[in-house]
Amino acid sequence: MILVTGGAGYIGSHTVKALGEAGFRLVVFDDFSTGHPDFVRGVDVIEGNLGRMTDVQSVFDRYAIEGVVHFAGRALVGESSERPELYYETNVVGGLNLLNAMREAGVTNLIFSSTCATYGIPETENLGEDHPQRPINPYGETKLAFERAMAWFGSVHGIRHLSLRYFNAAGADAACEFGEDHAPETHLIPLVLGAAAGLRDRVEIYGTDYPTPDGTCVRDYIHVTDIADAHVTALQKLMAGTLEPQALNLGTGTGASVREVIDTVRAVTGRDFEVAESPRRRGDAPRLVALAERVAEVLGWRPAHSDLPNIVDTAWHWQLKRKKISL
């Protein structure tokens, strides 16, 4: 049995589906503060909070857990800068509760949903796994704190672990079962699609004077289905004992600017919308793009769904279904 924490969330739900299709038996643990109950289908579900050790222990008492895929946590950069205490309570204290419950139950396989936010401001054009980790916000700092705690639990208590550092997850399940539905929504592609759907007045471009080809920020967008597939491969290898503890980037190695995303949304949806230009936001790096060679070497995984038009198209059809928008 595999425990998936945060399995009712955006990336978690896609991964639960992929793991189930790969033959894994699953139990999802989620407090539904940001996840959606209707995103979890055909698996056991335990509602609980990582911050309560009794909730976490109850899962290990009830099920014979063999491995854990850990998504649960807070993930809003802006909120983390305003309320860091929430991020330390959930991402660090809650994470330690999980590690201790694993240790007590003798569970030794763990995949962690990490982030490129652990790197901070890029010192190179593309970010490799060996880039210095100097987070610039509590979100990245708390994710890094758990990576380090996991490494110590690995060396002392024998927990085999893998950190998957995502770049910009985007897109939606091709069957439109799951997609991005955050409150508040802070990610660029659903914001732009919201404008195309008439759900938002306009799209804001924050900063047009960056040292990039068109002056707007560049990001590495990776389809959420590709992320889910990487977790399946990683868990199979981890359970087979063929993976060393390490961190791997999940990205494409190719960036798209804010203007390129806007142009792609217009092309895919056939709709126009207002775009406004605003000053830079504090803490936005000009470019965040992965070096993605190591994950291909270690997992034999490469993204198969992450060209930008496909990302936008699947996300758009998810919007049409979820928001009941007419074409």
Q: For residues 164 and 45, what is the distance between their CA atoms, to the nearest angstrom?
A: 24
Q: Please report which residue ranges of 27-75 form alpha helices under DSSP H.
A: 53-62
Q: For residues 97 and 115, what is the distance between their CA atoms, to the nearest angstrom?
A: 20
Q: For residues 91 and 50, what is the distance between their CA atoms, to the nearest angstrom?
A: 9
Contact 201, 149 (CB under 8 A): no
Contact 300, 229 (CB under 8 A): no
Q: For residues 234 and 232, what is the distance between their CA atoms, to the nearest angstrom?
A: 5
Q: For residues 114 and 109, what is the distance between their CA atoms, to the nearest angstrom?
A: 16
- Per-residue buried b or exposed e for 206-232, using 16+ beta carbons within 10 Å of the residue's own CB: bbbebebeebbbbbbbbbbbbbbbbbb
Q: For residues 229 and 186, what is the distance between their CA atoms, to the nearest angstrom?
A: 24
Contact 50, 5 (CB under 8 A): yes
DSSP-derived letter for residue 67 is E
Q: Show the tokens assigned to 274.
A: 């207002």
Contact 43, 65 (CB under 8 A): no
User: What is the CB neighbour count within 10 angstroms for residue 272?
Assistant: 10
| Active-site residue list | 139
Q: For residues 245 and 75, what is the distance between their CA atoms, to the nearest angstrom?
A: 24
Q: For residues 155 and 245, what is the distance between their CA atoms, to the nearest angstrom?
A: 10
- CA 232 distance to own-chain centroid: 15
